[in-house]
């Protein structure tokens, strides 16, 4: 990885951390809010809908037992009985999809380096369906500019700009390292992408909503930066 990319990631991570460290009651107001908006404009200017993150290669895979586990609930979240993914908002064909329904869509396989805002990184291979395929299935209204992802992990959520959500490497993963996704890593379905910091990749998905306006998220509402690109 080039020093330029590392330097940019360090800058963005530092800005995110400084956002958290300051006024947690009003994290997006005043000078802090102005800095976040500037940071978002820089990241959006650097973002490309066609540029792909490099595959680190199979030799870079982090041993499964060493890939960090994270959830906000007091205990490991487990999918409710008869779990389905609800897809709605500004769409022509709202859906209520089972895991079997999702697995019938075209499968894609990706391998990314996961970057956490806390400074660590890890590599895993993921398989699932692309967010683009889901968008095509439901018929997203062109006026939809944002996507909100909701979870059954104690109300965890995050919202994305639609360009990032529909990036070719943004997927809804139901498998990790060639095996079915385990509860510790977000089963039955989690969001994943190489183009966002880890906290944007919502685990334990229950709902995907295409929206006209930006919403927040579990960590975004606590001061973490909203765009959070890598």
Q: What is the pLDDT of residues 48-94, one digit of tens each?
A: 677 888 899 999 999 999 999 999 999 999 999 999 999 999 999 99
Cα–Cα distance, 24 to 194 (Å, whole number):
28
The verdict on pTM exceeding 0.85 is no
pLDDT averaged over the chain? 86
Residue 16 falls inside a structural domain: yes
Residue 79 falls inside a structural domain: yes
51 vs 175, higher pLDDT = 175
Q: Is 6 a residue whose pLDDT tops 90?
A: no
Residue 176 falls inside a structural domain: yes
Residue 228 falls inside a structural domain: no
DSSP string, 135-187: HHHHTB-TT--EEEEEESSTT-EEEEEHHHHTSTTEEEEEEETTEEPPGGGTT
Cα–Cα distance, 139 to 94 (Å, whole number):
8
Q: What is the number of domains present in the chain?
A: 1
In the numeric block, the tokens 């062109």 are attached to 142
What is the CATH number for 98? 3.90.420.10
In the numeric block, the tokens 């809010």 are attached to 33
Residue 230 falls inside a structural domain: no
> Where in the sequence is the domain holding 146, given as residue range(s)?
3-222
Q: What are phi and psi of 126, to 5 degrees?
A: -125, 150
Residue 229 falls inside a structural domain: no
Query: Given strand 157-161, what is the order of strands in its sheet?
Result: 95-97, 85-89, 205-211, 146-151, 157-161
Instruction: Give mean pLDDT, residues 144-172.
Output: 97
Task: List the alpha helices (DSSP H) in the chain.
Answer: 3-21, 30-46, 99-103, 131-138, 162-165
Instruction: Give mean pLDDT, residues 110-123.
Output: 93
Q: Partners of 125 in the beta sheet?
A: 111
Instruction: Give mean pLDDT, residues 173-187.
Output: 98
């Amino acid at each position: 990885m080039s020093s330029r990319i590392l330097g940019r990631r360090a800058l963005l991570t530092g800005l995110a951390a400084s956002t958290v460290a300051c006024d947690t009651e009003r994290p997006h107001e005043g000078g802090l809010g102005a800095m976040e908006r500037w940071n978002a404009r820089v990241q959006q200017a650097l973002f490309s809908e066609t540029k792909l993150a490099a595959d680190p290669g199979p030799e870079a895979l982090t041993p499964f037992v060493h890939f960090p586990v994270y959830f906000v609930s007091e205990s490991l979240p487990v999918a409710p009985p008869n779990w389905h993914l609800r897809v709605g908002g500004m769409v022509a064909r709202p859906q209520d999809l089972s895991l079997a329904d999702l697995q019938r869509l075209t499968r894609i396989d990706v391998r990314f380096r996961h970057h956490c805002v806390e400074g660590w990184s890890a590599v895993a291979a993921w398989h699932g369906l692309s967010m683009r395929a889901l968008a095509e299935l439901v018929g997203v209204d062109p006026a939809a500019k944002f996507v909100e992802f909701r979870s059954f992990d104690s109300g965890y959520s995050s919202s994305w700009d639609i360009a990032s959500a529909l990036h070719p490497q943004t997927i809804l993963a139901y498998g990790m390292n060639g095996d079915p996704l385990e509860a510790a890593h977000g089963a039955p379905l989690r969001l994943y992408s190489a183009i966002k910091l880890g906290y944007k990749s919502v685990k334990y998905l229950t709902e995907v909503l295409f929206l006209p306006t930006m919403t927040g998220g579990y960590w975004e509402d606590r001061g973490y930066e909203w765009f959070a690109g890598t």
